[in-house]
Structure 1
Amino acid sequence: MNSIAIVGAGLGGLACARVLQLHGLDVTVFEQEPSADARGQGGTLDLHGDTGQVALHTAGLHDGFRALARPEGQQMRALDPLSGEVVMDEVPAEDDDFRPEIDRGQLRGLLLDSLSPGTVRWGRPVAEVAPDALTFPDGTTADFDLVVGADGAWSRVRQALTGVRPEYSGVTFVELGLDDADRRHPDLAALTGQGTMMTKIDGKALFAQRNSNSHIRCYAVFYAPEDWAAGLDFADTAKVRANLLERFAGWHPSLLGFLRDLDGGFTHRPLHVLPVPHAWTHTPGLTLLGDAAHLMPPLGVGANLALLDGTELATALATAPSVDEAVRTYETGMLPRSSETAKACATGLHDLLSDDLRSMAA
């Protein structure tokens, strides 16, 4: 085995690279972003004891994860959208660490710091993908024993393998945030608690999730046609706020405070998913992991599966007699698992917007 190329420096790709290096294998990660801090890395993740944490054990990073994780972040609260009253408040037991929270950026940093210097080639997008080879925008090419697509929802590697593109789910998220919430927004911080707060009715929901450093990340979630925001400039905070306040009219004023009192602006995140099942004919020299393989609704499993995909693929590559046998072994386990999870998430997305206040994301 000469070398492995991973396209995409997300969690799954970095976990794969980490385990490959633990086994002394040659790996290079190609990432189109210019640096590790080129953009924010999103909100908080709950890493499950039977998937994401298993992967971190394999990568030798579980102790580092535990030092950053927030077990108290497992708290789940549900509020009535019209009265603002708490209808559910599940506080984790003191010894409960099955799904502790960690900021995505912190976890990515932990993985990046574990890699040999120069493993990630920043500012190196991929122009064309073929089995065992990559072509870059400057026309240069490089050959590898295996190209791994870890390049997310709009994966270029997937286009070379299956040609399938994500489809709009009919549900959209609008993200906003509150900085230094305990001091500057104490009422909203109290409503959120130490973990996740949910309130919903009539196909609309508000979620608030506590991140580290007293930051609260919020999501307005609702069914909408794909072009619902046509003509709405998301840089115009006042107009987006007015649109959302009208959409959530009648909700309790305390909850509408999440929409009124944001710090910064709004980010539009329409939800796209891959068809279920998404599979492919085994192709020597190419494979996928994480969202590139099984993009599904964000119900608390995507990062966990990406980490598990990456570490399982790397372990197979380190132990199988050949690259092709390793990839076959990996795909034989990953594809059925991801298909079953994607089916459950498709159902869970609609449960997320049901009127049952006790139905929460997994």
Structure 2
Amino acid sequence: MNLTRAARVAIVGGGIGGLVCARVLQLHGRSVTVFEREPAFDARPQGGTLDLHPDTGQAALRAADLLDRFHALSRPEGQEWRAVEHTTAAALEHEWPPGDEGAGEEDRPEIDRGHLRGLLLDSLAPGTVRWGHAVGKALPLLDGSCRLVFADGTTEDFDLVVGADGAWSRVRAAVSEALPGYTGVTFVETGFDDSDVRHPDLARLVGPGTLVAKSGSTMLFAQRNSNGHIRAYVAFRAPLDWHTAAGLDLDDAAAIRTYLSQRLDGWAEGLRYAVLDGDHDFVHRPLFALPVPHVWEHVPGVTLLGDAAHLMPPLGVGANHALLDGTDLAQALIREERVDDAVRAYEELMLPRSSELAKQCAEGLENLVP
């Protein structure tokens, strides 16, 4: 019988869901190791901005005793939302963040993903994260434990392996044959540095939060990050190989710019600028999602959280629920006497919740980019 108090717990993936799970376990004196394939925290860009919801992301950080530190880093003004008409950039809808009189239940402050990940990493005991440890697969064993097989061929056994390793999880195969499928929507991303000084017209148009514009199956998002950085995305429906069919090389920035310029023909100049005049190369981001619903029969010794469990379109809920998954699993491991009972309790809570959420996100993407 694997008891939770002395359990050997491995979390595969050092994203925010896995890290918050590790943090809550350590707060309660439990042992945990996080395996991350990247060699260091700053090995790659950390992504854009996240709005953390009171009943999910913020609730998770409260359980991790990190909510005050989150608020010190967050940007409440980033909640502002501006929708504009695509040919004139005239305002269609404008939502302000709640003021002092409205702050509380509806507050969804923004935070850069890198800042949130850094906050979680700093909260862990030294040595918790083993960098540069790529996992090849997880093998459930007959005694209810699980063996991690690393990319270098070495192995290590644990009472519980948690797959928190994202969309293309190597752990997922231990419980499910499902693979992410292309949603039919792709994003092309660029960015603007020091926008208030170098791109003042765009900075004023975007404001402190998010700007959106839409025409048919093409949508533009521009989001303020910290330090004056703006990330801009154009989203559209297209085959996965749209660039090949159009005769484009994704590394040819001039050709991609010409294609996007044609796609945005007739759009307001300020909106075209947000896509065509960035300081960074274009990044191709096709959207993938797991089947809806994605569920599995319980397998002793292994479970999933975050995108590994319920990859869905990025409509503002995935990161929040990854954080909630992490704290729910950690709290089940603290509450239950046996590891298997804890994992069953967690999956009975998480799987129905994530299935309904994934359904809503799939429908939301259809409406957003028809």
TM-score bin (small chain): over 0.9
1:357 is matched with none
Unaligned segments of structure 2, at least 5 residues: 1-5, 141-145
Q: Deviations over 1:71-91 (max 9, x none)?
A: 111101001001221111111
Q: Which residue of 120, 126, 140 maps to 1:111? A: 120
1:133 is matched with 147
Which residues of 2 match residues 125-204 of structure 1 at below 5 A? 125-131=134-140, 132-204=146-218
Pair 1:47-2:49 in alignment: no
Q: 2:110 is aligned with what amino acid?
A: E
2:369 is matched with 353
| Paired residue secondary structure (1:49) | coil
Deviation at 1:238, TM superposition (A): 1.0
1:319 is matched with 335
C-alpha separation between the residues in 2 aligned to 1:137 and 1:92?
A: 46
C-alpha separation between the residues in 2 aligned to 1:248 and 1:225?
A: 18
1:281 is matched with 297
The CA RMSD measured in Å over matched residues stands at: 1.0
2:3 is matched with none
Which residues of 2 match residues 54-133 of structure 1 at below 5 A? 54-95=59-100, 96=103, 98-131=107-140, 132-133=146-147
C-alpha separation between the residues in 1 aligned to 2:97 and 2:154?
A: 53
Deviation at 1:339, TM superposition (A): 0.6
Are the counterparts in 2 of residues 201 and 353 from structure 1 also a CA contact under 8 Å?
no
C-alpha separation between the residues in 2 aligned to 1:138 and 1:152?
A: 20
Unaligned segments of structure 1, at least 5 residues: 355-362
Q: Which residue of 281, 305, 311 maps to 1:265? A: 281
State, as a whole percentage, how many aligned pairs show the same letter: 62
Q: 2:155 is aligned with what amino acid?
A: T
Q: 1:202 is aligned with what amino acid?
A: G
Pair 1:252-2:257 in alignment: no
C-alpha separation between the residues in 2 aligned to 1:339 and 1:301?
A: 13
C-alpha separation between the residues in 1 aligned to 2:228 and 2:7?
A: 46
| Paired residue secondary structure (2:228) | coil
C-alpha separation between the residues in 2 aligned to 1:83 and 1:109?
A: 40
Are the counterparts in 2 of residues 153 and 291 from structure 1 also a CA contact under 8 Å?
yes
Q: Which residue of 23, 26, 44 maps to 2:28? A: 23
Worse-superposed segment, 127-136 or 164-173 = 127-136
Q: 1:260 is aligned with what amino acid?
A: L
Deviation at 1:99, TM superposition (A): 0.7
C-alpha separation between the residues in 1 aligned to 2:262 and 2:238?
A: 14
Q: Deviations over 1:301-344 (max 9, x none)?
A: 00000000001100110110100000000000000100111111
Deviation at 1:93, TM superposition (A): 2.3
C-alpha separation between the residues in 2 aligned to 1:259 and 1:77?
A: 17
Deviation at 1:252, TM superposition (A): 1.3
C-alpha separation between the residues in 2 aligned to 1:125 and 1:28?
A: 13
Deviation at 1:92, TM superposition (A): 1.5
| Paired residue secondary structure (1:16) | helix
Are the counterparts in 1 of residues 7 and 339 from structure 2 also a CA contact under 8 Å?
no
Are the counterparts in 2 of residues 4 and 28 from structure 1 also a CA contact under 8 Å?
yes
C-alpha separation between the residues in 2 aligned to 1:116 and 1:53?
A: 22
1:208 is matched with 222
| Paired residue secondary structure (2:191) | strand
C-alpha separation between the residues in 2 aligned to 1:2 and 1:86?
A: 56
| Paired residue secondary structure (1:156) | coil
Q: Deviations over 1:185-225 (max 9, x none)?
A: 11111111111000001110100000000100011000001
1:237 is matched with 253
Deviation at 1:235, TM superposition (A): 2.5
Are the counterparts in 2 of residues 7 and 147 from structure 1 also a CA contact under 8 Å?
yes
Q: 2:336 is aligned with what amino acid?
A: A
Q: Which residue of 319, 322, 341 maps to 1:306? A: 322
2:143 is matched with none
> Structure 1: which 4+ aligned runs deviate by more than 4 Å?
none
C-alpha separation between the residues in 1 aligned to 2:137 and 2:293?
A: 26
C-alpha separation between the residues in 1 aligned to 2:73 and 2:38?
A: 25
1:4 is matched with 9
C-alpha separation between the residues in 1 aligned to 2:309 and 2:353?
A: 11
Query: TM-score, structure 1 length as denominator?
Result: 0.96
Aligned length: 354
